[in-house]
Amino acid sequence: MPRKSPLVIGHRGAPGYRPEHSRSSYELALAMGVGAVEPDVVATGDGVLVVRHENEISGTTDIADHPEFADRKTTKRIDGQPLTGWFTEDFTWDELATLRVRERLPELRPSSASFDDVQPMLRLVDVLDLVREGSTEHGREIGVVLEVKHATYFASIGLDLAPLIARDLHAAGWADGELPLTIESFEPAVLAQLRSAGIAASYIYLIEASGRPYDQLVAHGRQALTYKATVTPRGLDGIVGAVDGISVNKRMLLAAGSTIVEDAHGRGLKVFTWTARPENAFLAAEFRGAGGKQAFGDYESEWSVLARSGIDGVFVDHPDLGVAFFQG
């Protein structure tokens, strides 16, 4: 059954206020009342899972200021796209532990950027332990929504993420269903891998507003089903039983006449959406206000559209605003 109010998920913690995926970002999200937090997972060269938005880390750490790592700057193709910078898989965890994290969008979030260069990167096991401890401290059950990043790419370089994730979930006591775990990815194959490995979780297929999942593009070429086709009634029929729900780009729900939530619920699938942010830069055009990109627009009107659609979960960058609006 759909929730009466959506699960509010701290997207990488509380990145509206602290650098994403930092300890203080997660701790703030827990203190602000979220029902879950979302770590993105990538791997180091020695098989340690770290939480970063991408495996390219020049925009979220101080790595460019470390002369000892200057020679590791390189260009790669990640999911078919060229990208230049420093990549987690070219480092050991001990090396990455010397870095400090930074705000990814300093021009939009200068207050968060004031916390730059202080906190180290976190491993997945650090976040799992932090959330478990936070649940006890705050006296409520708090979940983890684990996003698997670039699984096909990592497998291609000999770093299969599924067994590494299973290892860490077992080690931290999150693999057997005692704690509320959701696993999500834009690539459905890795979700199937983890489900077949017996990891007790809710499995959510991430859906972009355009394009195709990279794993399916590699396997099937242009015959691969597009994301848009996946959320049609026929496409949803095809994923019933394989996943427990979908998580769609909010633009798909803001489109006039969208029946995605109704169609998914009719097939027993949950629907999450991403990402509810208050700044003008992220709002649909009709909800933007004065004051430039970093000013808050009429986010409550946009979020009202999402809430009325009947979503089961929503990712937020400002957990206090999200909890107050969606669960107030």
Measured CA distances, 139 to 33, 49, 136, 238, 308 (Å): 11, 28, 5, 39, 29
CATH superfamily, domain 7-327, is Phosphatidylinositol (PI) phosphodiesterase (3.20.20.190)
Q: 102 near 57, Cβ under 8 Å?
A: no
**CB distance 25 to 111 below 8 Å:** no
Cα(241)–Cα(262) distance, integer angstroms: 18
**What is the reported pLDDT for 328?**
81
Q: Are 323 and 33 in contact (CB under 8 A)?
A: yes
Helix axes 188-196, 161-172, angle to 10 degrees: 50
Whole-angstrom distance, CA of residue 322 vs CA of residue 6:
10
CA distance 131 to 136: 9
Question: Hunting for tokens 């790419």 — which residue is that?
Answer: 153
Query: Which position has the token pair 């990279």?
Result: 214
Segment 38-47, tens digit of pLDDT: 999 999 999 9
Is the pLDDT assigned to residue 3 strictly greater than 70?
no
Q: Is the pLDDT of residue 232 over 70?
A: yes
Is pLDDT above 60 for 212? yes
- Residue 195 is classified by DSSP as H
pLDDT at 179: 95
* Tokens 């703030």 sit on residue: 28
Nearest-angstrom CA–CA distance, 216 and 219? 5
Could you give the CA distance from residue 152 to residue 159 in angstroms, rounded to a whole number?
Answer: 9
Specify the residue for token string 């602290």: 18
Q: What is the CA radius of gyration of the chain?
A: 19
Q: What's the distance, CA 103 to chain centroid? A: 16
Q: Strands, E, within 44-108: which ranges?
A: 49-51, 74-78, 81-85
Q: Find how far residue 144's CA is from the centre of its chain.
A: 10
Who's near 190: CB < 8 A, 6+ residues apart?
148, 151, 152, 161, 162, 215
Provide the 8-state DSSP code for 88.
G
Portion of the chain with pLDDT greater than 90, in percent: 98
pLDDT at 2: 43
Instruction: Report the pLDDT value the prediction gives residue 4, as an integer from 0 to 100.
Output: 73
DSSP designation for 121: P
220/194 Cα distance (integer angstroms): 21
Q: What is the pLDDT of residue 38?
A: 98
Model confidence, pTM: 0.97
Look at residue 326 and tell me whether its pLDDT is greater than 70. yes
Calpha distance 11→275 (Å, rounded): 8
pLDDT tens by residue, 154-211: 999 999 999 999 999 999 999 999 999 999 999 999 999 999 999 999 999 999 999 9
> Can you tell me the mean pLDDT for 78-97?
98
Whether the per-residue pLDDT at 1 is higher than 50: the answer is no
pLDDT mean over 121-141: 98
Task: Sketch the domain layout of the chain as residue ranges.
Answer: 7-327
SS3 61: strand
Mean pLDDT of 4-32: 97
